[in-house]
Amino acid sequence: MSTTALVGNGPRPTIVLVGHGMVGQRFLEALAERGLTATHRVVVLCEEPRPAYDRVALTSYFSGKTPEDLSMTDMQFIADHGIELYVGDPAETIDREARKVTARSGLVVDYDVLVLATGSYPFVPPVPNKDAEGCFVYRTIEDLLAIEEYAKSRATTGAVVGGGLLGLEAAGALKGLGLNAHIVEFAPRLMPVQVDEGGGAALLRTIADMGLSVHTGVGTQEIVVGEDGAVTGMKLSDGSELAADMVVFSAGVRPRDQLARESGLTVGERGGISVDEQCRTVNDPHVFAIGECALASDGRVYGLVAPGYEQAETAAATIAADEASFTGADLSTKLKLLGVDVASFGDAHGTTEDCLDVVYSDSRAGLYKKLVIGRDGTLLGGILVGDAEAYGTLRAFTGSVPPVSPESLVLPAGSGESVQLGPSALPDEAIICSCHNVSKGTIRGAVTDHQCTTVPEVKKCTKAGTGCGSCVKVLGQLVTAELEASGVEVDKGLCGCFSQTREELYEIVLALRINTYQDLLDRYGRDGAKGGDGCEVCKPTVGSIIASLAPTIGASNYVLEGEQAALQDSNDHFLANLQKNGSYSVVPRIPGGEITPEGLIVIGEIARDFGLYTKITGGQRIDMFGARVEQLPLIWARLVDAGFESGHAYGKALRTVKSCVGQTWCRYGVQDSVRMAIDLELRYRGLRSPHKLKSAVSGCARECAEAQSKDFGIIATSNGWNLYVGGNGGATPRHADLLAQDLTDAELIKLIDRFLMFYIRTADRLERTSTWLERIPGGLDHVRDVVVEDSLGICEELESLMADHVSHYRDEWATTINDPEKLSRFVSFVNAPDTPDPVVGFVPERDQIKPDLPLLSIGMRPSENPADVLEGSAQR
Amino acid sequence: MTLAPETTDLKVQLRLADSWFTVCDLTVLLPGRGVAALLPDGHQVALFRDRAGTLYAIDNRDPFNGAAVLSRGLIGSHQGRPFVASPLLKQRFDLASGQCLDDESVRIATYEVRTS
């Protein structure tokens, strides 16, 4: 290996990175991509106790993300590239003469190249008592942990100093922690850097409606403390006083340039380490500075992550002796603050000479949109508050004359003047992904030259859409447009038999009350497929749609009835799970994982009597393996007799609702999670859906039931229930997103009814809720609009469909064991109903059984003479 | 040893080397689904009836895994050819020729089948 050889040949040149934040991590990745980690020793000194994490998403900690979720550091990456990462050990001094860095621990590292990525520190105005107990800043995960602890134990009211981006996030976090939250902003409006007066007014109204108290145009004069030295309030510049148990300073940040100053590097008047276009310090060719600590060659300190990334790339390229430069960056941002879209791009404040504004404002709806236009019609910039849908397109048009009139771009849809300007109108050089600086031309090239046909492929190929993600929607439109333009027919049809998507078939079935597969195929199938047998893709899909809607469309709600039996996947047809040797496993429903000793004994006796292998499942129930098809009815007769019913482990249907033991027993529990899990499992049992559905209910935030890895997960709060959706374990784990908070029992059930029915209605075949949420246009926000705000006006219908399902449910195993005709299908051989399949055999393993696989390869049991078995039955 | 109940006159028969082997009543076959039958020599046959009423018979053994399960697969048509998809890993087999549609090197036995 060449890397080993290099080590053996003597010391490699050393790159020392000071600071391991988002930009620092990006720099390491850029080094690795350029092969520099193989040729150089790379040492990282990180002050914080944890490696790089997503500081932009810091606030999501309060909506349930753990510090681990926020991590951006793959330790495997660090290890694979031999990077020496010292966490919790900041650089303390730099000796530029000797090219040595000394860390707090006493570690001394010689460097050939030193890269400073020390970021920034929160600015705390020099007011009396600013360091009192109960005063906090909002910058690191440790800050958040401290805020959370104090808020929970000692505070009911909190004040945030600063009404900028971070201040609003901090205020939202305090409110989320149950505090009365105040925002104190010195400027006359909120987010003074990003938005103008009109935008600030729209924002103020929306924020105030959320129950946050906003005080603009006032400064903080003093923090008031009580006898114990802890915060009791603050004095404001207008003479008023505000009572508060804690204060969070979020009044902007300053570059952390102390280390550079002390080592004699030039810093700007208002801070920031002066660097040139290659991000090299102006004094020392061996030292670079990137990110928020750097004063770029255009005289600005960039506090956004995208320019920081660009600087990281520039520094890495320069170290690799490649050409690169950073001459300034676009300050465009699109954010979702407390649920409000806020975007600003280009010359948002209209500082260009002779520029004009086009403004649409509706403060009642919390909407404000402003475009800044040059004399010649060039789009120079703009501000969007309340609806930033057009951000991707508008930003890309910045610097050019849009092909339609500017006012049509800001008027609301449906006003007659509004124009949906598609990304196809953009020039090739328009930047679509500003995080990674990817142009429309590059994205088109990914489709035309690199044969990418899906958004995930294009993301992988170009990196577009892998930063903040705000351009993914535009990306999707571009990919589709490009595929269509290049003659690739994008057939969205379900299969060779239907040109419709699953969603379209669902709508047809529901609207026209079509209740047989053959009717649907003959009327709506592709020309060549009409009148045929369909295929293994559309039959179970349509079978599932019919089953989901059965009571409403007048179909039987028993999946083995009539034609429906022929549509079911093999597992559903036998109401059991086929295993590799042709035997089945059996899973009775154990709602919420709660089971009596008598129930356990029954299951144990059945497993023992039929010689089944037993295993506890991940869904808190018991799986019995090794049943032959003809044994299934006998096993189920006993299970049904003991009060068990189908667990639908074989179906694309609700599987289990796991629970922790909850308030009843647990000293931490705040709600009865077991009761809720049982209620939910009994409510949704038997519900056929595009894919399996899993759920869990946790009785407190400790989340022992792992609800955030479920399709719908519920976590108890002291005020009710938080509902999370779209979680998944498996090959592509995804943490669920918070859909709604502090729900009552009734609100929770209503919302789940709507959510599940909306998913069943719109998902693709075999699409779990996690991929569905990622795919559907608008994502979680759209789903929330539909199921919480009822933006499509369909909630009543969704609820009524679910009510139909719930009231018509019946256990399909109980139905089956009482139906002699259906029972006759449960045989291995139609001509020898009592004869077991001779290749289903078992051998011992750890005191139980396992499939006899050699038997499968032989194809028959050699020890028996089948002619004897068939004696008398063969009618020749 | 019990026999399948006989309710109609029409029987499904398979052609073996020198004779026709009666398997079951035609009415037992659900259109769109299959059943398995055991032959005197120990082999297993999967029998299917499609929507149009045509009968097919192929070896019941999934050659990719060895389990005797093809009779439990879903049937369909692909470019006008009838097929069954294995319930294990979904490989499709042409019901008339036994050819695997997803691996051209694999073909399974077929049987002549009739009603009488």
How do residues A786-845 score in pLDDT, each as one tens digit?
A: 999 998 889 999 999 999 999 999 999 999 999 999 999 999 999 999 899 999 999 999
CA distance B79 to chain A (A): 8
- With an 8 Å Cβ cutoff, are B87 and A565 in contact? no
Q: Is A853 exposed, middle or buried (0-12, 13-18, 19+ CB in 10 A)?
A: middle
B30 to chain A: closest CA residue: A566
Is A462 within 8 Å of A440 (Cβ atoms)? no
A867 to chain B: closest CA residue: B40
CB-CB neighbors (< 8 A) of A866 in chain B? 38-42
Tally of CA atoms within 13 A in the half-sphere of A29 that contains its CB: 18
CB-CB neighbors (< 8 A) of B66 in chain A? 581, 839, 853, 856-857, 859
Domains annotated on chain A, with CATH: 2-121+255-319 (3.50.50.60), 135-251 (3.50.50.60), 330-421 (3.30.390.30), 424-486 (1.10.10.1100), 502-549 (no CATH), 655-809 (3.30.413.10)
CB-nearest partner of B72 from A570, A832, A840: A570
pLDDT (mean) for A617-625:
96
CB-nearest partner of B69 from A567, A582, A871: A582
d(CA A108, CA A110) in angstroms, rounded, equals: 7
Whether pTM > 0.90 for this model: the answer is no
A390: left (phi over 0), alpha (psi -120 to 50) or beta: alpha
Please tell me the least confidently modeled range out of A402-416, A513-527, A861-875, B75-89: A861-875
Mutate which of B1, B92, B101, B116 to disrupt the A interface (most A C-beta within 10 Å)?
B1
Helix A141-154 / helix A165-176 crossing angle, nearest 10 deg: 40
Residue A727: phi and psi, rounded to 5, are -80, 160
Average pLDDT over chain A reads 88
- Is the confidence at residue A14, as pLDDT, over 50? yes
Fold of the B11-115 domain: Rieske Iron-sulfur Protein (2.102.10)
Is A158 within 8 Å of A213 (Cβ atoms)? no
- Is the confidence at residue B9, as pLDDT, over 80? no
- Is the confidence at residue A329, as pLDDT, over 90? no
Helix (H, G, I), strand (E, B) or coil at A795: helix
What pLDDT score does B90 carry? 87
A279: left (phi over 0), alpha (psi -120 to 50) or beta: left
Every domain of chain B and the residues it spans: 11-115
CB-nearest partner of A533 from B30, B32, B43: B32
pLDDT (mean) for A17-24:
95
- With an 8 Å Cβ cutoff, are A831 and B88 in contact? no
Task: Enter the DSSP assignment of A11.
Answer: P
- Is the confidence at residue A2, as pLDDT, over 80? no
Model ipTM over 0.85: yes
B11 to chain A: closest CA residue: A875
Count interface pairs A-B at CB distance under 8 A: 146
A851 to chain B: closest CA residue: B67
- Is the confidence at residue A1, as pLDDT, over 50? no
A860 to chain B: closest CA residue: B42
What pLDDT score does A211 carry? 84
CB-nearest partner of A833 from B2, B20, B43: B2
pLDDT band at A489 (very low <50, low <70, confident <90, very high): low
Give the count of beta carbons closer than 10 Å to the beta carbon of residue A702. Answer: 12
- Scan residues 2-31 of B and list those with Cβ closer than 8 Å to A: 2-4, 11, 19-24, 28, 30-31
B50 to chain A: closest CA residue: A533
Query: Which of A582, A554, A534 minimizes the C-alpha distance to A853?
Result: A582
CA distance B19 to chain A (A): 7
What pLDDT score does A384 carry? 87
Mutate which of A541, A564, A567, A829 to disrupt the B interface (most B C-beta within 10 Å)?
A829
The tens digit of pLDDT for each residue in A467-479 reads: 666 677 778 778 8
Query: Which of A313, A306, A326 minimizes the C-alpha distance to A33?
Result: A313
d(CA A863, CA A852) in angstroms, rounded, equals: 14
CA distance A876 to chain B (A): 5
pLDDT band at A180 (very low <50, low <70, confident <90, very high): very high
What pLDDT score does A412 carry? 64
Greatest Cα pair distance, chain A, in angstroms, is 108
pLDDT (mean) for A357-381:
84
**The amino acid at A752:** I
CB-CB neighbors (< 8 A) of B77 in chain A? 529, 532-535
d(CA A422, CA A476) in angstroms, rounded, equals: 11
- With an 8 Å Cβ cutoff, are B2 and A574 in contact? no
- With an 8 Å Cβ cutoff, are A578 and B20 in contact? no
- Is the confidence at residue A10, as pLDDT, over 50? no
Lookup: tokens for A580: 């590799």
- With an 8 Å Cβ cutoff, are B30 and A565 in contact? yes
What pLDDT score does A861 carry? 44
CB-nearest partner of B1 from A531, A536, A873: A873
d(CA A210, CA B7) in angstroms, rounded, equals: 72
The tens digit of pLDDT for each residue in B26-68 reads: 988 988 899 999 999 889 999 999 988 899 999 999 999 899 9
- Is the confidence at residue A651, as pLDDT, over 90? yes
Q: Which residues pair with A281 in a beta bridge?
A: A275
Which of A434 and A247 is assigned the larger pLDDT?
Answer: A247
In the numeric block, the tokens 């439109």 are attached to A477
Please tell me the least confidently modeled range out of A451-465, A624-638, A799-813, A853-867: A853-867
Lookup: tokens for A282: 């102006």
Query: Which of B41, B98, B29 minimizes the C-alpha distance to B70?
Result: B98
Q: Assess B63–A contact: CB distance below 8 Å, yes or no.
A: no
A865 to chain B: closest CA residue: B42
What pLDDT score does A422 carry? 63
- With an 8 Å Cβ cutoff, are B73 and A570 in contact? yes
Which of A203 and A30 is assigned the larger pLDDT?
Answer: A30
A18-53: b or e for each residue (b if 16 or more CB lie within 10 Å)?
bbbbbbbbbbbbbbbebebbbebbbbbbbbbebbbb
CB-CB neighbors (< 8 A) of A565 in chain B? 30, 33
d(CA A587, CA A573) in angstroms, rounded, equals: 15
A534 to chain B: closest CA residue: B76
What pLDDT score does A356 carry? 84
A134-147: b or e for each residue (b if 16 or more CB lie within 10 Å)?
bbbbbbbbebbeeb
A593: left (phi over 0), alpha (psi -120 to 50) or beta: left
